[in-house]
Chains A and B, each alone.
Chain A
Amino acid sequence: MPTSIFGPYTRTIFTGAVITGLLLFSFTYARVGVWIEVQPFFEWMETTWFGVIGKTWGAAFASIQAIHLIGLALLGGSVIVGDGRVLGLILADVPARTIIDRAHKVFFWALMTLLATGIFMACGVAMKLYYLPVYWYKMLALCTGVFFHFYIRKPLLQRELEDINPWLLKAVGVSSVMIWFTVAATGRWIGFSG
């Protein structure tokens, strides 16, 4: 990476470029070629054990959905506490470093739970998802969230908060909350579509 050109902002600029690239790719005709290419993968997903279990046992699928919701609750809690502290709205009298680091641990395990249960659920209804625009919006929001969290928010907040422009901190906190609520909203809307 050309660190000498962009200095300490290399990672932020690189991540911003990746997210912009993802958005451009998603909202232009370029996506159609890839969309057709990945169809066999979605067909294969339905033939996996996860796919067969998800399609055969409704109770198993519904139970995994419930665990997905619990993961979502935990993720929401960690985002609200972590970003709430960044914004100075929650636990403002506790050192920010403590809250941010501890909330990140909860966030990480919540995200792992969401990914594991999400993959299982996707296998059960893979072809339905393949044809749903809102599913692809969710994936776009999820990728944006993961890139944003691990490559922009986390490295930025590892610096001393006093050294960071307060408006940048506010922008990061608000963006984080908005991205993860968008992920949740698009995910919920999958259930209403198709």
Chain B
Amino acid sequence: MDELIYNFAVWLDDTRWSAMLHESYYMYNWVESTHVMTLMISLGMLFLIDLRMLGYALPDVPASKIAQKLSIPMAFGFTVMFITGISLFYAVPVRSAQSVWFRVKMVLLVACAVNAYLFHKRMNESVSSWDNDARAPSRIRHGAALSLGFWTIVVICGRFIAYDWFDCDYDQSGFIEFVAGCVPGQERF
């Protein structure tokens, strides 16, 4: 599996557009800046929805209204983040594919998606009975707290990708090599 991912990353790395994106100072930095700055839209909206459910933000605005209206800019933000995120991976595929932080981030993104699905499902089932309450019921609050926690770790992992502490071209412990998917004798990093 690790070799398959590595070979795919090497193939991506060999494509012309990957090199062009990586080597273009302004283009790469614009893509990365857009990825980070879209946090203000996507996570900004998401955090406000979660904090509303926990009773810390906009407590006197109906919860369903907050969730419904803020979902539109949030979806726009996540779409831009997704596109720029794929572009960033495409620009540096080998190192990203073997980054411990990138891998943890991907797993957490799946967890975030599952949590968001369950959160909305539970909310839509019961919101009419607590829509105007300052705090949502405990099941919804747990979902909101999980969402805040997951996304906080996603941001931390995203930030840590830039650091080379666990890169495969350094001597690493067996555990790190396993998690990063380092391939014995690999020539590219």
Contacts and interface: CB of A to CB of B under 8 A. Distances in A.
Nearest to B156: A66
9 contacts: A58-B165, A62-B159, A66-B160, A70-B43, A91-B66, A181-B40, A188-B33, A189-B33, A192-B33
A188 B37 contact: yes
Given A70-B155, A74-B47, A81-B70, 12 more contacts: A58-B165, A66-B156, A73-B47, A73-B155, A77-B47, A78-B48, A80-B73, A81-B58, A90-B70, A99-B58, A106-B57, A188-B32
Given A58-B163, A65-B159, A78-B48, A98 B60 contact: yes
A102 B69 contact: no
A185 to B, nearest CB: 6
Contacts of B51: 106
B41 A62 contact: no
B112 interface: no
Interface residues of B, number: 36
B70 A106 contact: no
Contacts of A58: 163, 165
Nearest to A69: B155
Interface of B: 25, 29, 32-33, 36-37, 39-48, 51, 57-61, 65-66, 69-70, 73, 152, 155-156, 158-160, 162-163, 165
A145 to B, nearest CB: 13
A189 B30 CA distance: 9
Contact of B57 (A76, A94, A105): A105
A102 B61 contact: yes
**Which DSSP category, helix, strand, loop or mixed, fits chain B's interface?**
helix
Q: How large is the interface on A (under 10, 10 to 19, 20 to 34, 35 or more residues)?
A: 35 or more
Given A62-B163, A99-B58, A99-B61, A77 B33 contact: no
A45 interface: no
Contacts of B156: 62-63, 66
Contacts of B165: 58-59
Nearest to B164: A58
Interface in A46-98: 58-59, 62-63, 65-66, 69-70, 72-81, 84, 90-91, 93-94, 98
Given A76-B39, A80-B45, A189-B29, A90 B73 contact: yes
Contacts of B33: 185, 188-189, 192
Contacts of A125: none
A63 B46 CA distance: 21
A181 B44 CA distance: 13
